Amino acid sequence: MSSFDRANEAVSFLTNGLPEGLRKPQVAIVCGSGLGGLAETVQSEPRAEFDYASIPHFPRSTVAGHAGKLVFGLLGQKIPAVLMVGRAHFYEGHSMEQVTFPIRVFKQLGVDTVVLTNAAGGLNSDYSVGDITLLNDHLFLAGLAGTHPLRGPNDEDFGVRFPPLSDAYDLELRRHVHRAWKEITTPQTNRKLHEGVYAFVGGPTYETRAESRMLRMMGADVVGMSTVPEIVVARHCGLRVLAMSLVTNNAVLAPVPRGDEELLQDKAAGELSALLEEGKAGHEEVLEAGRAAAVDMQKLVVQTLVNVFGSA
CATH code, domain with 235: 3.40.50.1580
Q: Cα(268)–Cα(109) distance, rounded to whole angstroms?
A: 61
pTM of the model: 0.91
Q: Cα(193)–Cα(182) distance, rounded to whole angstroms?
A: 10
Residues with catalytic roles: 33, 66, 89, 91-92, 119, 225-226, 249, 283
Residue 142 CA, distance from chain mean position? 17
Q: Cα(122)–Cα(130) distance, rounded to whole angstroms?
A: 10
Residues 230-270 have pLDDT tens digits of 999 999 999 999 999 999 888 888 886 776 766 566 666 66
Single-letter amino acid, residue 180: A
Strands 113-122 vs 240-250: parallel, antiparallel or unpaired? parallel
* Rounded mean pLDDT, 187-216: 94
* Rounded mean pLDDT, 121-128: 95
Q: CA of 256: how far to CAs of 146, 217, 266, in Å?
A: 31, 17, 18
* Rounded mean pLDDT, 304-308: 94
Per-state percent for the chain, helix, strand, coil, to nearest 5: 40, 20, 40
Instruction: Find the angle CA(74)-CA(89)-CA(196) to the nearest 5 degrees.
Output: 75
Q: What confidence tier does 189 reach under pLDDT thresholds 50, 70, 90?
A: confident
The count of structural domains within the chain is 1
Instruction: Find the angle CA(237)-CA(78)-CA(227) to the nearest 5 degrees.
Output: 35
What is the reported pLDDT for 60?
86
In this model, does residue 28 exceed pLDDT 60? yes
* Rounded mean pLDDT, 166-181: 97
Print the domain residue range for 304: 3-310
What is the reported pLDDT for 163?
97
